[in-house]
Amino acid sequence: MTMTPTEPQGTQAVSISSRLRAGFGLLGPRHPRHALPVDQVEALSLPIGDDGVVVGIDPEGQPAVLGVNRPTPYDILLISGLWTAQVLALRAAATGARVAVETGRPQAWMQMVHAMGGGQNGLAVYDVGRVPPQGASAGTPVLVVRDCGMRPPRGRVTSAPWQSVLTLLPYLSPVAPRLMRQARLVGVQRVSPDEAAEIGRVIGLPRADLDTLPTLPDGVTLWCTERDRQYVMTQPTDAEVGLLGVARRMD
């Protein structure tokens, strides 16, 4: 409300007091509004993009971004080598997420823990079945990486708001169809023709993808949602190569 000189002093004081109580804060300086003619709107260039982890580049060379920090539960199944899962864990931690790794081979993750300050900078490793509640929130999102072999047991810590779960399978196993059906996102690297056929049957891949999966180069992943599919090449940074080596499908 703009006060006029005809308002009594007491009225001005009451008006300001009521605005402060309503939570609007102190009255600041007045500035003219910024306006832009309609014919100049197209000249604006705004840096708008997806928020998440850059998992690589798509076939057009554009960044491919995976949004792991979500206000709703999010399950990811990744059928790949350990290298890709570790790159994703590093990059998720770099975005500010806490990463909890549940694994039966902790020695394979210790170099990452040491490189990130002994677990004090966003990445912690736990034995299978020993992941404690993470207390995920919008301010402290969590990515749980389950590296539990071909037959991962049901996890004690499941996906929840601001807590995504990525389950790593080196190859297909009897539990893979169930995990694929439960996942909101499935990533597949090079597999055998028989495995490709089984994956295609479960998630409905077209014939072209079934023929391509057995020929994928190291570092390439086919990411699939219920509606979309995208091939992505994960290109490591120099620091990631120094820590994890080059991209590889086999561990």
- The per-residue pLDDT for range 24-63, each reduced to its tens digit, is 344 444 444 445 565 554 444 333 335 689 999 999 999 9
Whether residue 76 lies inside any domain: the answer is yes
Q: Residue 77 belongs to what domain range?
A: 53-244
Mapped onto helix, strand or coil, the DSSP state of residue 208 is helix
Token pair of 33 as six digits:
């509004």
Residues 167-225: pLDDT tens digits?
999 999 999 999 999 999 999 999 999 999 999 999 999 999 999 999 999 999 999 99
**Number of structural domains, the chain?**
1
Query: What pTM was estimated for this model as a whole?
Result: 0.79
- pLDDT score at 216: 98
Whether residue 250 lies inside any domain: the answer is no
Please enumerate in sequence order all residues whose Cβ is within 8 A of that of 16, keeping only pairs 6 or more positions apart, or say none: 27
Average pLDDT in the 110-120 region? 81
- pLDDT score at 52: 87
Would you place residue 123 in the very low, low, confident or very high pLDDT band (cuts 50, 70, 90)?
very high
Residues 214 and 232: their CA atoms lie apart, in Å, by 15
Whether residue 41 lies inside any domain: the answer is no
Report whether 15 contacts 3 (CB < 8 A): yes
| Sheet of strand 63-66: strand arrangement | 63-66, 53-57, 229-233, 220-224, 185-188, 74-79, 163-169, 142-147, 98-103, 123-126
Whether residue 27 lies inside any domain: the answer is no
H or E segment to which residue 165 belongs: strand 163-169
At 218, which CATH number? Answer: 3.40.50.300
Average pLDDT, the chain: 84
Residues 160 and 75: their CA atoms lie apart, in Å, by 9
Percent of the chain with pLDDT over 70: 78
H or E segment to which residue 86 belongs: helix 82-94
β-strand pairing of 98-103 with 142-147: parallel
Whether residue 36 lies inside any domain: the answer is no
Whether residue 20 lies inside any domain: the answer is no
Whether residue 40 lies inside any domain: the answer is no
Exposure of 175 by Cβ count < 10 A (0-12 exposed, 13-18 middle, 19+ buried)?
Answer: middle
Whether residue 173 lies inside any domain: the answer is yes
Average pLDDT in the 71-85 region? 97
Report whether 74 contacts 159 (CB < 8 A): yes
